[in-house]
C-alpha cells in the first residue's frame, strides 16, 4: 500500500505540473485506504474536467486563465453538435484525454473529439419511454461520471451502466431500484464516483417514493451499501446502512398518514458531494410526499430526512450527522441543490465548511465535519422563517402552515435557487448562483386522496371562495417576481453584486482563475461576467436557453468552453405555462475558443397554429376532462393545457384523429408519450380530449 501511495503522489504532482491527464489504475473501492490519501479525482489536472463539480469540492472552479477579461470578447464558436431534441438538456459535459463526453434526455450518451467535434461513439441504453411519466420535469439527465477507463451513466429507469470510454460498449450493468417497485422511481441526477464508489440517488418525489441513496463498486457494479432517507412504512428494519437510526427517523413521523402509502419522499434527486479527508458523503434530500403535511403526517413531526443534508460515512454508508433546513417540509422545497466545500475564515477561525443555497431562499454555511450550523441568511424575499435557535433550528412561522384557506408563501415551489449548479471562487471568495424571487398560494384540497403514479401534493383551493382568494393573492405575488445572477459572500452572508435577468430558469455557472463567471441565460445567450463586479464582458446568442452547467478544458495549448443549450425542465414548463416561451432551436452542444469562427444556422420558421375543431363535448364531460388533465397530464403539458413539452391546444387535425391511439395505445411512445390505458378508460381519455378542444377554442387567436 505504501508503494501505491508513493506512486500516486508522484504521478499526481507530475501531471499537475505538465497539465497532462492522470492515468492511475485502481483495482476497486477496496484499494482506497480511507484517510491515508486523496484519490485521483480529488485534485485533477488543471486542463481536465472529470466530475460534474470539477473535483470533490464541487466548486466548479477552473485554474485555467488563457481566456480572461481582456480577450473574452474574442470567444467564438469552435464547433457544435445538433442534439436532435427539444427536450431539456441539463447535463454538465465531462472532458478527459482529448475526449468530450455528453448525455441527453433518455440517457443517450456520446463521446466527441474535443478539438473537432467528430463523434467517436454513441450509446443508447434504450431507456423505456414510458418512464417519461415518472419524470416530473422531463426525462432529463444531469450528467455522467468517469472512473478508471469507464463512463458511468444512471438511466431514467434505474440502471447503472459502465461503458468502456474508448468504445462506448457496456462493461457492467446493475440496477439501482427494481423494475417492479411499488414506487414511481426514476433517476435524473448525475451519478458520482467517490473513492472508487458510484453513489446515486433517485427522483420521483412529486409522485410518491421512499427516498434512498446507494453506493456501488465502480469496477464491478456490485452494491456496497444503501441508506433510506424516510422510514419503513411497515415499521421494520431494512437490513441496510440506515437501520441504525431508523428509530430516530421514525419518531419524527406520525403513526398514521399517507406517507405510509406514498413513501414520504426525501429523495436525493440531484446533488451529492464528498470530502475525501473525512470520508463523508453529503446527501442533499428532496421534498416530502405528499407535499401537504396535513395529509402526509397529520401535521405532526419534523419528518426526517425531508429537505436536509445528511452526512454518511463513505466506507459503509452509516449515519454521521444531519441538518434539516425545513422541519415538516410542505412547500415542495428541496435541499438537492449544489453543496460546495471550502475552507473559510469565520470570526478569526479557519472553518472547513459545506455551503448550500437550497430552494427555501437562504444561503447556509455548515461545518462539514460535524454538521454544526454556522450561519444562514436569506438572499431573496421570504416570509417563512422568523430566525434560528441556538442549535441552528429554523423558527418556522405558523402563518405559512396552510390549511383549507389559501395563504401566500415566499419562496414558491420553484425555489429561490433550484438545481442549476452553483460555483465558488477561492480567489474572490464569492459563491455564484442564479436566484429567483417568487411567492405562491398554498391551500389544502378537501377530501384529497392520493393517485398512484401521478403527481401527489394534496394542494387545492382552486374553486369557489378559496379560488377567488387564490387569484387575488397570486396577483399580489406576481408583483415581486424577479430573477438574477447572484454573487454571494458566504462569510459576511450578504450580496456582493447581482445582475438582473428577464426570466426564471437561468442556467448553472462555473468560474475561472481569470475571474470570469460563465452562465447561460433565459435571454437565450451564453454569457461571461466579471467575477468581482458582475459586468457583462461577453454574450453569445445560442437560440435556446442553456440551463446546464458549463465546463472549460485545455487541449493542445488551447482553452475551450463547452455548454449544452437545451431549454427544458421545470423552469421551461413554468414559462410555457405562462405562454411566454420564445421561439427556439433544437438543443445543441456548443464549444467555444478564442478566435472560433463557426456559425449557427438561422432559426427555423415558426409554423402557423392550426384551427381548432368545434366544441362538441358536454359541460359535464369537459369538467371531468379538466380534472383528469390536471391529475394526469399537466406535469408534461402545462397547467390549464398551456404550453408544456407539447402544447395540446395546437394539435393538428391528424393528431386529433389519433388522440385515443396516442393516449391509450402508446402510438407516440418513442417520443416519450407513454400508454396511459392502465389508469385511463376510453371514456376518460375522450373527456380529456374534449377538454383540450374546449381550451383550444377559448384561447384561439391569443398566442
Long-range contacts of 116-120 (CB under 8 A, 24+ apart): 116/79, 117/78, 117/79, 117/80, 117/81, 117/591, 119/81, 120/168
Compute the distance between CA of residue 157 and CA of residue 131 in angstroms, rounded to an integer.
6
Compute the distance between CA of residue 228 and CA of residue 402 in angstroms, rounded to an integer.
28
Compute the distance between CA of residue 121 and CA of residue 534 in angstroms, rounded to an integer.
39
Compute the distance between CA of residue 19 and CA of residue 557 in angstroms, rounded to an integer.
10
Return the C-alpha cell found at 584: 427556439
Compute the distance between CA of residue 105 and CA of residue 59 in angstroms, rounded to an integer.
25
Nearest in space to 144 (alpha carbons), one of 88, 101, 199: 101
Q: Up-side HSE of residue 281: CA atoms within 13 Å toward CB?
A: 31
Integer-rounded Cα radius of gyration of the chain: 24
**Residues 638 and 696 sit within 8 Å (Cβ to Cβ):** no
Cα separations in angstroms, 595 against 62, 75, 684: 21, 6, 58
Compute the distance between CA of residue 262 and CA of residue 678 in angstroms, rounded to an integer.
19
Q: Up-side HSE of residue 92: CA atoms within 13 Å toward CB?
A: 34
**Residues 590 and 598 sit within 8 Å (Cβ to Cβ):** no
Cα 293 to chain centroid, rounded: 24
Compute the distance between CA of residue 201 and CA of residue 285 in angstroms, rounded to an integer.
9
Cα 89 to chain centroid, rounded: 11
Cα separations in angstroms, 330 against 137, 262, 368, 401: 19, 15, 26, 8
Cα 377 to chain centroid, rounded: 23
**Residues 304 and 320 sit within 8 Å (Cβ to Cβ):** no
Compute the distance between CA of residue 311 and CA of residue 326 in angstroms, rounded to an integer.
17
Bridge partners (DSSP) listed for residue 327: none
Report helix, strand and coil shares of the chain as percent, to nearest 5. Answer: 20, 30, 50
Compute the distance between CA of residue 299 and CA of residue 309 in angstroms, rounded to an integer.
22
**Residues 160 and 176 sit within 8 Å (Cβ to Cβ):** yes
Return the C-alpha cell found at 154: 444512471
Cβ neighbours, 10 Å, residue 579: 15
Cβ neighbours, 10 Å, residue 48: 25
Residues designated catalytic: 332
Amino acid at each position: 500500500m505504501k508503494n501505491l501511495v508513493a506512486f500516486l503522489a508522484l504521478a499526481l504532482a507530475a501531471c499537475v505540473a505538465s497539465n497532462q491527464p492522470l492515468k492511475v489504475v485502481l483495482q476497486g473501492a477496496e484499494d482506497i485506504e480511507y484517510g491515508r490519501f486523496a484519490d485521483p479525482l480529488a485534485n485533477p489536472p488543471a486542463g481536465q474536467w472529470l466530475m460534474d463539480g470539477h473535483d470533490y469540492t464541487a466548486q466548479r472552479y477552473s485554474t485555467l486563465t488563457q481566456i480572461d477579461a481582456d480577450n473574452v470578447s474574442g470567444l467564438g464558436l469552435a464547433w457544435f453538435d445538433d442534439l436532435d431534441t427539444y427536450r431539456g438538456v441539463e447535463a454538465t459535459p465531462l472532458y478527459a484525454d482529448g475526449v468530450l463526453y455528453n448525455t441527453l434526455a433518455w440517457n443517450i450518451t456520446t463521446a466527441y473529439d474535443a478539438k473537432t467535434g467528430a463523434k467517436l461513439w454513441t450509446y443508447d441504453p434504450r431507456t423505456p419511454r414510458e418512464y417519461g411519466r415518472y419524470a416530473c420535469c422531463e426525462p432529463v439527465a444531469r450528467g455522467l461520471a468517469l472512473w478508471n477507463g469507464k463512463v458511468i451513466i444512471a438511466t431514467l429507469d434505474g440502471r447503472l451502466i459502465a461503458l468502456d470510454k474508448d468504445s462506448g460498449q457496456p462493461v457492467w450493468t446493475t440496477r439501482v431500484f427494481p423494475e417492479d417497485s411499488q414506487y414511481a422511481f426514476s433517476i435524473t441526477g448525475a451519478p458520482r464516483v467517490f473513492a472508487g464508489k458510484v453513489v446515486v440517488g433517485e427522483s420521483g418525489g412529486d409522485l410518491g417514493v421512499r427516498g434512498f441513496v446507494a453506493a456501488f463498486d465502480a469496477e464491478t457494479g456490485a452494491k456496497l451499501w444503501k441508506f433510506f432517507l424516510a422510514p419503513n412504512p411497515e415499521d421494520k428494519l431494512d437490513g441496510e446502512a440506515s437501520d441504525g437510526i431508523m428509530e430516530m427517523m421514525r419518531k419524527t413521523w406520525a403513526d398514521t398518514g399517507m406517507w405510509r402509502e406514498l413513501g414520504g419522499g426525501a429523495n436525493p434527486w440531484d446533488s451529492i458531494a464528498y470530502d475525501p479527508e473525512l470520508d463523508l458523503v453529503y446527501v442533499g434530500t428532496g421534498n416530502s410526499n405528499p407535499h401537504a403535511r396535513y395529509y402526509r403526517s397529520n401535521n405532526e413531526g419534523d419528518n426526517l430526512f425531508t429537505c436536509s443534508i445528511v452526512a454518511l460515512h463513505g466506507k459503509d454508508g452509516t449515519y454521521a450527522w444531519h441538518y434539516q433546513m425545513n422541519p415538516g417540509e410542505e412547500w415542495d422545497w428541496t435541499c438537492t441543490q449544489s453543496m460546495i466545500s471550502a475552507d473559510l475564515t469565520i470570526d478569526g477561525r479557519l472553518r472547513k465548511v459545506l455551503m448550500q443555497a437550497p430552494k427555501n431562499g437562504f444561503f447556509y454555511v455548515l461545518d462539514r465535519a460535524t454538521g454544526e450550523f454556522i450561519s444562514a441568511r436569506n438572499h431573496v424575499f421570504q416570509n417563512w422563517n422568523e430566525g434560528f435557535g441556538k442549535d441552528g433550528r429554523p423558527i418556522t412561522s405558523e402563518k405559512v402552515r396552510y390549511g383549507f384557506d389559501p395563504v401566500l408563501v415566499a419562496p414558491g415551489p420553484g425555489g429561490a435557487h433550484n438545481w442549476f449548479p452553483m460555483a465558488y471562487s477561492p480567489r474572490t471568495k464569492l459563491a455564484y448562483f442564479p436566484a429567483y424571487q417568487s411567492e405562491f398560494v398554498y391551500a389544502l384540497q378537501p377530501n384529497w386522496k392520493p393517485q398512484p403514479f401521478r403527481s401527489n401534493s394534496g394542494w387545492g383551493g382552486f374553486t369557489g371562495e378559496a379560488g377567488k382568494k387564490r387569484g387575488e393573492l397570486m396577483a399580489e405575488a406576481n408583483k415581486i417576481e424577479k430573477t438574477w445572477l447572484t454573487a454571494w459572500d458566504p462569510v459576511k452572508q450578504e450580496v456582493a453584486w447581482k445582475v438582473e435577468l428577464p426570466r426564471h430558469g437561468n442556467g448553472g455557472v462555473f468560474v475561472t482563475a481569470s475571474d470570469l463567471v460563465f452562465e447561460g441565460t433565459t435571454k437565450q445567450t451564453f454569457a461571461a461576467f466579471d467575477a468581482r463586479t458582475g459586468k457583462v464582458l461577453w454574450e453569445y446568442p445560442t437560440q435556446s436557453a442553456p440551463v446546464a452547467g458549463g465546463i472549460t478544458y485545455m487541449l493542445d495549448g488551447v482553452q475551450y468552453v463547452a455548454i449544452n443549450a437545451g431549454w427544458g425542465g421545470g423552469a421551461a414548463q413554468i414559462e410555457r405555462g405562462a405562454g411566454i416561451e420564445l421561439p427556439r432551436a433544437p438543443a445543441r452542444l456548443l464549444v467555444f475558443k478564442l478566435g472560433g469562427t463557426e456559425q449557427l444556422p438561422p432559426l427555423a420558421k415558426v409554423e402557423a397554429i392550426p384551427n381548432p375543431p368545434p366544441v362538441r363535448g358536454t359541460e359535464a364531460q369537459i369538467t371531468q376532462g379538466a380534472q383528469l388533465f390536471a391529475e394526469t397530464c399537466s406535469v408534461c403539458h402545462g397547467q390549464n393545457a398551456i404550453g408544456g413539452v407539447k402544447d395540446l391546444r395546437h394539435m393538428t387535425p391528424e393528431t386529433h384523429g389519433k388522440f385515443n391511439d396516442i393516449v391509450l395505445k402508446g402510438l407516440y411512445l418513442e417520443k416519450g408519450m407513454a400508454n396511459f390505458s392502465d389508469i385511463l378508460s376510453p371514456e376518460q381519455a375522450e373527456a380529456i380530449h374534449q377538454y383540450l378542444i374546449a381550451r383550444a377554442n377559448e384561447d384561439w387567436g391569443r398566442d
